[in-house]
Amino acid sequence: MAPRAFWEGYLKLSLVTCAVAMTPAISEREKVRFHTLNRKTGHRILSQYVDAETGKPVEEADEVKGYQRGENDYVMLEDAEIDAVRLESTHTIDIDMFVPHDSVGLIWYDRPHYLIPNDTVGEEAFCVIRDAMTSTNMVGMSRLVLYRRERAVMLEPRDKGIILWTLHYGDEVRREEDYFEGIKDSRPDPKVMTLVETLIDERTKPWDPAMVTDPVQDRLLEIIASKKKGKKPIKPKAVAEAPSNVINIMDALRHSLASESKSPKKD
């Protein structure tokens, strides 16, 4: 059973409007979470804001946002002043432009949400917008207040529904040129390329969600289960040594292919 929608509103394209519901496509409820405890008493430890200079606790009414403009010098902003510049939460996803799907790099993608029609009356309008984006290979761009922040969002048609992605802000994404421009622009040896392509072919498999399971989570659950039963803690695995520098890439690739051919194929 699908979880209850956490957001309900309208999808709007010009004069076409339909009721929609949205739910996060990812969940962290199953993650192992810890509380910080007092080892001596077993009681939870509560965090509290204190004045950095006096060390005294600060009442919630005295907490205020501050923008640093110099050493120990801040501009204070009241909540009302910050709220005044926020986008009004209209609960309407107004698609004001479209861009080619392939033009939005993966680095801009933030969090995915499932967007579906919220009543039978607007389902036809929803499907028309979805299918038109699919046929033109376009994605819709809009802005929306989510998680108490104004966000740029992208609407991507997917199967029978739409994936609404929140996008990173422009100042959050670092320029790739600052990191990649120092890499030499040289063509690799064709023989090396052939060996690497063969290695890729040997390791190519169909996508499976099991490829992205969390082994740390599984190990933590094993430790917790053991401790519940009063068993001794499981010893941590030895840390693997870092690989040494490759001296001859051709030799390394030949050894890799030889080991691949000896290993049994996994379906």
pLDDT tens profile 63-74: 989 988 888 888
Distance from C-alpha of 131 to C-alpha of 162, rounded to nearest angstrom = 10
> With a threshold of 0.75, does the pTM exceed it?
no
Give per-residue pLDDT as tens, 113-146.
999 999 999 999 999 999 999 999 999 999 998 8
**AA letter at 159:** D
Which residue matches tokens 């740029």? 152
Average pLDDT, the chain: 84
pLDDT band at 25 (very low <50, low <70, confident <90, very high): very high
Distance from C-alpha of 71 to C-alpha of 67, rounded to nearest angstrom = 11
Q: According to the model, what pLDDT value does residue 194 have? A: 86
| CATH no., domain 1-28+63-182 | 2.40.290.10
Tell me phi and psi for residue 156, to 5 degrees. -115, 120
Tell me phi and psi for residue 219, to 5 degrees. -65, -40
Distance from C-alpha of 17 to C-alpha of 94, rounded to nearest angstrom = 9
β-strands 7-13, 92-94 pairing = parallel
Pull the structure tokens for residue 119.
Answer: 């009543």
- Evaluate if residue 242 carries a pLDDT over 90: no
Do 23 and 211 contact (CB within 8 A), yes or no?
no
Q: According to the model, what pLDDT value does residue 261 have? A: 66
Distance from C-alpha of 113 to C-alpha of 24, rounded to nearest angstrom = 4
Distance from C-alpha of 63 to C-alpha of 60, rounded to nearest angstrom = 5
Long-range contacts of 101-108 (CB under 8 A, 24+ apart): 101/137, 101/138, 101/139, 101/156, 102/137, 104/139, 104/154, 104/167, 107/168, 107/173, 107/176, 108/154, 108/167, 108/168, 108/173
**AA letter at 17:** T
Domain with CATH 2.40.290.10 in the chain: 1-28+63-182
pLDDT band at 88 (very low <50, low <70, confident <90, very high): low
CA distances for 168 relative to 35, 88, 108, 150, 201, angstroms: 30, 20, 5, 11, 34
